[in-house]
Amino acid sequence: MKKYVIKTDVPRQSLINYREALNDEQRAVVMAGAGPLLVIAGAGSGKTRVVTYRVARLIEAGVAPARILLVTFTNRAAREMLSRVETLLAADVRRVWGGTFHSIANRLLRRHAASLGYENNFSILDAEDAKDLIDSCIDEAAIDTRSRRFPKGEVLREMFSFATNTDTSLDQLIVAKYPHFELLTAQIKRVDQLYQQRKLERNAMDYDDLLVNWKRLMSEKPDIAAIYQEQFQHILVDEYQDTNTLQAEIVDLVAAKHRNLMVVGDDAQSIFGWRGANFKNIFEFQKRYPDAQLFKLENNYRSTPEILMLANASVSMNRQQFPKHLQAKRPSRGFTPALIPARDSEQQAAFVAARILDLRDEGVPLDEIAVLYRSHFHSLELQLELTRRGIPYDVRSGVRFFEQAHIKDVTAYLRLVVNPRDELAWKRVLKLIPKIGNATASRVWERLAYAEEPLALVRTDEFAKALPKGAAVGWREFAELIKDLTAPETLNNPAKQIELVLTRGYVEYLQANFENADAREEDLRQLANFAGRYDTTDAFLSELALLNTERFAPPGATVGEDVIEGGDEDERLALSSVHQAKGLEWRVVFMIWTADGRFPSSRSLRDIEGEEEERRLFYVALTRAQDELYVCFPLVESDRARQTVLHRPSRFVTEVPRELLEIWSVDEENAQLEMLETTETKYIN
């Protein structure tokens, strides 16, 4: 049979001056020939620019847009890249397959779902839908959730998802990540079995099914696989260091024929292992593709030379890495990154707030300043200090520390002890008891509201008898907890009260209801430490009320608009965990709580891989700064027993050459915080 090929891939005359638009490193990637390409793109090196120009170059070279697959971690990123390509080429490139793994999987499955036992009009379950269906599967399995706390739908959904994306069995996962549920393994696996069945019966897929079924199309349906292996002549994957095992397997299957696979990422910014990202995908890419060309983008356009020298020195300590050395394309501003040993966490917060106000006076807008931390609870004292000083701030990708559900749950117990007429606190606490919902909580409150001594009433047998049968056990435990919270030795000890709430059932509640239970427990342990500095529970709760700013501020109090004269209405300081700050940048960055055991987190130091991921996280934090960087840590801290705990600076600080950090001392005189530069090095010996 004679084959006739329609020539649609016609090379066009270049409209782009690649020599002018790209540096030598970038241009080498964009102009590279066929075959697998591994691009290690350092922080601030123009990774997005390279991917954009590579797509444009392929189209200019005659590759039809429909034969290009561009995989990004947000649909917005894909849209922005392709919009830029359209501008560069002055042509319509909408036929390029661009988007996230999930959006592309959905597009393919709408065509081929029938081959896997679904109809093409299948529904996609979002996180809430998945949780609800899992809850119904728990009921169907007739699991007694009263005798032992059984994980809620949200926790199970995260559990099933992690197992799927990391190619881990539930048995292995429970032992490794959820040992407190090990005795429930058989029941959890039964719920998972029912969940998979019910999704198929309802012609529905959750987000993970989209990827699983994409892989099935490529591995179990050779006719369908052949279509797309032929079609996608060139595949580009952005942020490859964040891919999980399942995603990497899909990419390899799709690229099997042409092998024109370009993956772009930075091994030094691989920081999401805790949520399933597999560092080996990028680190071992050349093992899977021995003929892969390796490119490094080492020209940094973001940070000053001083900041980059510190970042380079830090990440170079990692054993597993692609060696690289970021070169600053910006001139020096004469500012060496500062190391600030503060007396304690309160002085650390005072320094950060005072320096931010100075920077604002120097012409740096608040929205060009960020405070970064390893864990959310590290911002506790700082949020209070910023509120006292009237400095407006936003917590990126989250709520303020004291507005989080688990913080409000635990403080609700303290509120009702201080004020037994606090209706909101009562209703919140009551609904934490198994088998008590909104209706029962309202009925209970109606009786308590008119009682002479509500706290005494809850401990009576007569009151307990009026509750739903299923709530009896939980209510007895609650009554005993109230008794102990109001005991003379505990009544005005908020730290001890928080510890009691945690040990008398709330930790188990966290484990059953939240996938990140450990992090939430850590928040609460730190809250107890913080509470230890207060002599009464009332004083502690009053301090927390400060965070409601204007609503609870006394008449004439200074608020953000008064302090930040002439600033934009929306001008706010950014507070963010380092994980949530990835991909962002600010003129000035403060890093707080860079003490060993805090950053790196002690929980992450169980093995060398954990320490190296923490060091990569430290590197990400350093490279968010453009002009100025302040690295802060407290020398001492009082624990919940009011014992003094000494802190040393992070090992990531002490292991770099001393000349890369300028040590500042902090002094307080006449209630005015002063920063005194010093050449002393005793803090990092």
Give, for 256, the enclosing helix (H) or strand (E).
none
Handedness of CA 207, 212, 213, 215 (dihedral sign): positive
The pair of structure tokens assigned to 379 is 């911002």
* CA–CA gap between residue 459 and residue 448 (Å, rounded): 12
Half-sphere exposure of 533 (CA within 13 A, CB side): 12
Half-sphere exposure of 366 (CA within 13 A, CB side): 25
Residue 431's contacts (CB-CB under 8 Å, 6 or more residues apart) are 437, 438, 441
- Angle (CA) 410-352-312 rounded to 5° is 105
How far is Cα of residue 156 from the mean position of the Cα atoms in its chain?
19
* CA–CA gap between residue 143 and residue 148 (Å, rounded): 10
The pair of structure tokens assigned to 574 is 């950014």
Handedness of CA 561, 562, 566, 567 (dihedral sign): negative
Reduced to 3 states (helix: H, G, I; strand: E, B; else coil), residue 233 is: coil
Catalytic residue, candidates 26, 52, 243, 269: 269
Handedness of CA 397, 399, 405, 406 (dihedral sign): positive
In three state form, how does the secondary structure of 123-162 look?
EEECHHHHHHHHHHHHHHCCCCCCCCCCCCHHHHHHHHHH
Active site residue 233: no
The pair of structure tokens assigned to 266 is 């930075």
Among 86, 95, 82, 78, CA closest to 238: 78
Residue 39 identity? V
Catalytic residue, candidates 355, 616, 624, 640: 624
Catalytic residue, candidates 239, 381, 499, 612: 239
Structural contact between residues 372 and 590, judged by C-beta atoms closer than 8 angstroms: yes
* CA–CA gap between residue 634 and residue 627 (Å, rounded): 24
Catalytic residue, candidates 25, 47, 154, 497: 47
Residue indicated by tokens 């000053």: 304
* CA–CA gap between residue 63 and residue 233 (Å, rounded): 8
Active site residue 47: yes
The pair of structure tokens assigned to 274 is 């805790």
* CA–CA gap between residue 329 and residue 325 (Å, rounded): 13
Catalytic residue, candidates 238, 543, 613, 628: 238
Distance in Å from the first CA to the final CA of the chain: 79
* CA–CA gap between residue 273 and residue 290 (Å, rounded): 25
The pair of structure tokens assigned to 658 is 């001393």
Active site residue 231: no
* CA–CA gap between residue 409 and residue 510 (Å, rounded): 11
Among 677, 679, 652, CA closest to 666: 677
* CA–CA gap between residue 324 and residue 288 (Å, rounded): 22
Active site residue 511: no
Active site residue 48: yes
Active site residue 238: yes
Structural contact between residues 351 and 342, judged by C-beta atoms closer than 8 angstroms: yes
E strand intervals along 486-582: 573-577
**CB count in 10 Å sphere of residue 221:** 14
Residue 276 identity? G
Taking each helix axis as running N to C, give the angle between helix 438-449 and helix 423-430, from 0 to 180 degrees, rounded to the nearest 10.
140
Catalytic residue, candidates 27, 48, 459, 538: 48
String of DSSP letters for 276-331: TB-THHHHTHHHH-TT-EEEEE-EESSS-HHHHHHHHHHHTT-SSS-----EE-SP
Among 243, 240, 237, 218, CA closest to 229: 218
Catalytic residues: 47-48, 238-239, 269, 624
